[in-house]
Amino acid sequence: MQSSATPRSYPRIVLIAGETSGDMLGAGLIQALRERFPHAEFVGIGGDAMRKAGCQTWHDASELSIMGLAEVIGHLPRLLKLRKEFRKRALEWEPDVVIGIDSPDFNLSIERWFKRRGIYTIHYVSPSVWAWRENRIDKIRACADEVLCLFPMEPALYAEHRVNARFVGHPVADAIPLEPNHLAARAELKLPENVPILAMLPGSRRSEIERLSQVFLDAAWRVYEKLPDLHVVIPAANTDCYEYLSKALSSSLLPKSNLHLIQGQSRTAMIAADVALLASGTATLEAMLCKCPMVVGYRISPLTYSLVKTLHLVKTNRYALPNILAGQSLVPELIQSDCTADRLSAEILNWLCDPQRAMALQPIYRKLHMSLRQDASERAADAVAAILEPVPLPT
């Protein structure tokens, strides 16, 4: 398929990623597509990873990185203007396919706009329709010609609603080894070998960190009072997060010698740790793949939480991806008013003081890891290539 009125010997592909995880997915997809279509052109919205992979980004992914219903409302005029300008520019560029990567609140409307103009649209990463707002599937059918799913239970749900969807696996499961090296990770981060280590990840967005960093630090302090040899490693997702966390740590009661604030390296930190304290989201999946026991805590704005509850938008009692994938409560989740320092610290101590419980988690983690390890970027590229095959390659 080719939408361009001018014949070309190479495909043009638009990709739109609104956060760090989507940027990584986009980069993997670009690399896999480049092997099939060496002269392909890629433009869109993305971050450093997509730029490094060869995508010309007209906007940075951070411009779309807004979390929560209430927060989006405040940024709506800017986002609407960005969307209007972007889709006009992208249409003039004459793409062969438009791929929205996650960020459904922004991407689905763009996909629908292009689909109505006869351009094939793919939504890469299914929204969590199995967890909340299942009625979104009807909207997705109107927006995307195809959905690429990261989790194995998703295509069947789409099939019930006559949506073309395929399971491609999760690229993070491909990237993380089945048997991570715990001691090597500690050595890489220059952490002590024989002490309990807590990895603390209060989120990748500034709004998340502002809500969670203090209660997470208070919880770590309570654990330290029980286990004074505890070390805490805190990977910051970006420079802005690093600066904010640095200020927060300066007022912490924890000894500075026991605190390790690092730039990035979240996976290494979770492999090195005995337990992770983290925000609900993609990080919970990464912790599972790193074979790290975890405690999940999360808070959103009171208005967003009230809207979600009042409108009965959530259809699951589980929020952490390991619990959802396993269909059971593998790891504790403490959400909203339950997310207190006392409760978080108690759950962390439960892991640290019960090594047998932590060991029993490992075979379950490994089984889940295997189910997601499908060479996802290649399989996603296969789906895109099936659309682009009629585009002749240079001789």
Give residues with Cβ within 8 angstroms of 185, minimum separation 6. Answer: 268, 269, 271, 272
For residue 394, the 8-state DSSP code is: P
How far, in Å, CA of 121 to CA of 387, rounded? Answer: 10
Predicted pLDDT of residue 80: 87
Predicted pLDDT of residue 7: 60
Predicted pLDDT of residue 74: 64
Reported as a single tens digit per residue, the pLDDT across 228-261 is 999 999 999 888 889 999 999 988 889 999 999 9
**Higher-scoring residue by pLDDT: 66, 102:** 102
Reported as a single tens digit per residue, the pLDDT across 144-177 is 999 999 999 899 989 999 999 999 999 999 999 9
How far, in Å, CA of 62 to CA of 20, rounded? Answer: 8
Q: What would the DSSP string read from start to end of 92-145?
A: HT--SEEEEES-HHHHHHHHHHHHTTT-EEEEES---TTTB-TTHHHHHHHH-S
How far, in Å, CA of 114 to CA of 90, rounded? Answer: 9
Q: What is the arithmetic mean of pLDDT over 322-333?
A: 92
Sheet of strand 120-124: strand arrangement: 56-60, 41-46, 12-17, 97-101, 120-124, 146-149, 165-167
Coil/strand/helix, residue 169: coil
Reported as a single tens digit per residue, the pLDDT across 43-94 is 999 999 999 999 999 999 888 765 444 455 666 788 889 999 999 999 999 9
Q: What is the arithmetic mean of pLDDT over 253-282?
A: 93
Please report, for the chain, the start and end positions of each structural domain, with discontinuous segments joined by +.
Answer: 12-169+374-388, 182-372
Q: Does domain 182-372 have CATH number 3.40.50.2000?
A: yes
Q: What is the arithmetic mean of pLDDT over 323-342?
A: 91
How far, in Å, CA of 279 to CA of 298, rounded? Answer: 5
How far, in Å, CA of 143 to CA of 274, rounded? Answer: 43
The answer to whether 376 touches 173, Cβ cutoff 8 Å, is yes
Predicted pLDDT of residue 366: 97
Read off the pLDDT band of 4 (50, 70, 90).
very low
What proportion of the chain, given as a percentage, has pLDDT over 70? 88
**Higher-scoring residue by pLDDT: 104, 196:** 196
**Higher-scoring residue by pLDDT: 383, 74:** 383
Q: Return the closest-CA partner of residue 199 out of 228, 229, 230.
A: 230
Structure tokens at 52: 């490094």
Predicted pLDDT of residue 5: 47
How far, in Å, CA of 203 to CA of 65, rounded? Answer: 12
How far, in Å, CA of 305 to CA of 69, rounded? Answer: 9
CATH code of domain 12-169+374-388 = 3.40.50.2000
Predicted pLDDT of residue 68: 46
| Burial of residue 356, with CB atoms counted within 10 A of its CB: 0-12 exposed, 13-18 middle, 19 or more buried | exposed
58-67, 96-105, 121-130, 366-375, range with the lowest pLDDT:
58-67
What proportion of the chain, given as a percentage, has pLDDT over 90? 69
pLDDT exceeds cutoff 80 at 300? no
Say if 12-169+374-388 and 182-372 have the same CATH topology: yes
Reported as a single tens digit per residue, the pLDDT across 132-141 is 666 788 889 9
For residue 294, the 8-state DSSP code is: E
222-236, 280-294, 380-394, range with the lowest pLDDT:
380-394
Q: How far is CA 170 from the centre of its chain?
A: 11
How far, in Å, CA of 134 to CA of 127, rounded? Answer: 9
Coil/strand/helix, residue 298: strand
**Higher-scoring residue by pLDDT: 315, 5:** 315
**Higher-scoring residue by pLDDT: 298, 74:** 298
Q: Work out the number of other CB atoms within 10 angstroms of the CB of residue 342.
A: 11
